[in-house]
Amino acid sequence: MGTGIKKLSEPDSLSALFARFGPGARVFHTGDFCRASTFAEDDGAGHLHMVKNGTLVVTENGEEIARVEGPGLVFYPRGTAHRLAPVGPAATVLCAMVDLGGGGEGPLARTFPERLVLSGEDAIPLDPLFDLLFTEAFDRRFGRQAALDGLVLFFMVRLIRHLIETARIETGLLAALADARLARVVGALHERPERAWTLEAMADVAGMSRARFADRFKRNVGVTAAEYLTDLRLGMARALLGKGRTVKAASAAVGYADPAAFSRAFRKRTGANPRAWIAGTGHAESVSGQDRGRSSRST
């Protein structure tokens, strides 16, 4: 069409990931942001701060990282500790906990950088969604909380789509989704992670030779296709374990016929065997079922 905008290819890889991982969101603050607030590290969910009007200064370990002017946002997909402070009397802000699945280690969370900042002109394409969210926040009608939480997830889909179409993130899952041939492969992996995938089978889905596919995948995504598949399987397994599935059932669902082999791969990736990980996380529920916004404090 000559627009230069990259379109997603079938199968719909992003929808498959949302279905597999069941991301959740919980809005815990809307309105004026008048004082500095510190947000503690949280390895179970990320922090999304949307600024409609005004300016926020973002700091980490006492160092200024960015200034976000409305409309704008800062997103920490893996719950990194940070501090926000308004410039001037106040800023109009919406804050939410966002769990992209896999305890911050799933493919959706891992495709983002440590922090994502969009401000000013970079955020203008998302401005209608800012209007929608903040209108709902201030209407205070029946179902407000449920509507806000659902709209944040809708916003995350549109945000990811925006990042793909603008090629703002040049490696990782979003880079793969922006490449028509690689998008077919990752879509197939997301739909059927349990399949006995080989490099040849993935290259065939891409319609490329084995060598060309291996090189293109590593160059665009930043890891080999085999490494991506392993991370995908283990991320999906963590999501299943967090929902109460047994180790045997979770390992089989993601393509490990031998639970012992799954446990070894899981321990190598997380530093703990599956049962110890379950005990340590307490079967972490989706953030949508918890009020986790209280991890912040004002000063």
CATH number for the domain spanning 141: value is: 2.60.120.10
- pTM strictly above 0.85: no
How distant, in Å, are the alpha carbons of 199, 220, 252 from that of 255? 15, 25, 5
- Does any domain span residue 1? no
- Residue 84 · residue 100 · CB < 8 Å: no
Kindly report which listed range (65-69, 83-87, 101-105, 167-171) carries the lowest average pLDDT score: 101-105
Residues 113 and 179 in one domain: no
Q: What gap in Å lies between CA 252 and CA 265, rounded to an integer?
A: 13
Q: Which residue has the higher pLDDT, 166 or 57?
A: 57
Q: Within this chain, do residues 207 and 93 fall inside the same structural domain, yes or no?
A: no
Q: Do residues 234 and 159 both lie within one domain?
A: no
pLDDT confidence of residue 3: 45
Asked if residue 160 and residue 102 are part of one domain, the reply reads: yes
Q: Is the pLDDT of residue 291 over 80?
A: no
250, pLDDT greater than 50: yes
Q: Is residue 60 part of a domain?
A: yes
Residue whose structure tokens are 């009007």: 53
**Shared domain check, 89 and 206:** no
| CATH number of the domain where residue 198 is located | 1.10.10.60
**Exposed, middle or buried by CB within 10 Å (0-12, 13-18, 19+), for 144?**
middle
Instruction: Specify if 3 maps to a domain.
Output: no
Looking at the structure, do residues 91 and 181 belong to the same domain, yes or no?
no
93 and 235 in a single domain? The answer is no
Q: Contact, 81 vs 40, CB < 8 A?
A: yes
- Tokens describing residue 164: 């793909």
Across 21-25, 155-159, 189-193, the highest mean pLDDT is recorded for: 155-159
The secondary structure of 121-133 as a DSSP string is GGGGGGHHHHHHH
Nearest to 134 by CA among 24, 37, 31: 31
Claim to verify: residue 52 and residue 154 sit in the same structural domain: yes
| Least confident residue range of 63-77, 130-144, 160-174 | 160-174
Q: 63-69 and 46-60: which strand pairing?
A: antiparallel
Poorest-pLDDT segment among 25-29, 62-66, 179-183: 179-183
pLDDT at 146: 95
Q: What is the pLDDT of residue 102?
A: 64
Clarify whether residues 151 and 17 are in a common domain.
yes
Q: Is residue 7 in a domain?
A: no
Whether 216 maps to a domain, the answer reads: yes
Residue 210 is assigned to a structural domain of this protein: yes
Q: How many domains does the chain have?
A: 2
Report if residue 2 sits inside a domain: no
What's the rounded Cα separation, in Å, for the pair 111 and 169?
A: 9
- Cα angle for residues 257, 264, 287 (degrees, 5° grid): 90
Q: Give the number of other CB atoms < 10 A from CB of residue 197.
A: 19
User: Quick one: 41 and 153 in the same domain?
Assistant: yes
Residue 210 structural domain: 174-281
pLDDT tens, residue by residue, 198-244 = 999 999 999 999 999 999 999 988 889 999 999 889 888 888 887 88
Residues 111 and 148 grouped into a single domain:
yes
Q: Cα 225–231–233 angle (5° rounding)?
A: 100
Task: Evaluate whether residue 286 is within a structural domain.
Answer: no
| 51 and 73 belong to one structural domain | yes
